[in-house]
Amino acid sequence: DRIIAGLSELEAGLTKAADGQKQAVDKLPQFSRGLEQVNGGQRQLLEHFSALGGQLGQLVNGLDQSASGLQKVANGLGTAETYLADLSSAPEKDMAGWHMPKEARESKDFTQAKDAYMSKDRRIVTFDVILKENPYSTSALGRIDDIRAAAERAVKGTKWEDATIAVGGVTSTYADLQAISNADYKRTAVLMLIGIAIVLAVLLRSLIMPLYLILSLVLTYYTSMAVTELIFVNGLGYAGLNWAVSFFAFVLLLALGIDYSIFLMDRFNEYRGRPVKEAMLSAMGHMGTVIISA
């Protein structure tokens, strides 16, 4: 009876086991899909870790660059600290201009620059000024006073305030010639007009005719200069007449003009018995061709 009862229990247990196996078999596909999902998740996790590894490499490189930049900043701050310390120890009178660190002053490159632009005793220094315009032009000549004034302003309030400032070069030379010419022009014009008036008064034995002749010559001069500037400056667009033109034009026009005026008036005196208009027309008829050609 116990054996039969045990067999009955065994049969019941085997039946449950069979049911459990059936359920396990039924669950195997779900278990397999679960394993596949786990496998897929592990694969995604691996991919993310791989990408994270690349980003970590970039982060490491970025940190290295940042560290290098910070080192440069630290070096720059150290240089600035040295410069400020040197600046604070400089004499107060040197602060009116600009400050050059001692390291730069004692460098080889700066020594070459000093040899090129300074005298051996370091008491004379030269600055090169390059003008944009033609160095012979009227506008360039006008720059010389500006350059000299700028140099005087630059040394004002410094230990070089009492230094002698001079401007050289081609433009400066012509500017000086222009100043001399302008000063001589007034004296030359006055002396020439007075001298010519005396000579004419003696030759023509008149005080009225020399006055007319001188006025006509002055009018001729200004008319010639006006026409010249009208053509070349206003018409052709040149910068202006050279400083020498007015001086030499006055001398030449007056010298030549007075010669032919004497010829004309000498012939006029030959017809003194006629009316003034008729006498002048006759004199111009005989001398006009020569004068106009000249």
- In tens, the pLDDT along 84-112 reads 776 666 665 555 566 777 778 788 888 88
**What would the two tokens of residue 3 be?**
């054996």
Q: Each residue of 185-221: pLDDT tens digit? A: 888 888 888 888 898 888 878 888 888 888 988 898 8
* pLDDT number for residue 240: 76
CA distance 147 to 125: 15
- Whether the per-residue pLDDT at 177 is higher than 60: the answer is yes
**Tokens 């944009």 belong to residue:** 132
* pLDDT number for residue 92: 57
Confidence of residue 227 (pLDDT cuts 50, 70, 90): very high
Which of residues 74 and 235 earns the better pLDDT score? 235
* pLDDT number for residue 150: 92
Mean pLDDT of 288-293: 79
Mean pLDDT of 267-276: 81
- Whether the per-residue pLDDT at 55 is higher than 80: the answer is no
* pLDDT number for residue 87: 65
68: closest CA among 76, 79, 80, 56?
76
- Whether the per-residue pLDDT at 232 is higher than 80: the answer is yes
- Whether the per-residue pLDDT at 247 is higher than 70: the answer is yes
* pLDDT number for residue 226: 92
Q: Residue 103: which residues within 8 A CB-CB, separation 6 or more?
A: 82
Mean pLDDT of 112-127: 88
Average pLDDT, the chain: 82
- Whether the per-residue pLDDT at 141 is higher than 90: the answer is no
- Whether the per-residue pLDDT at 180 is higher than 70: the answer is yes
* pLDDT number for residue 293: 79
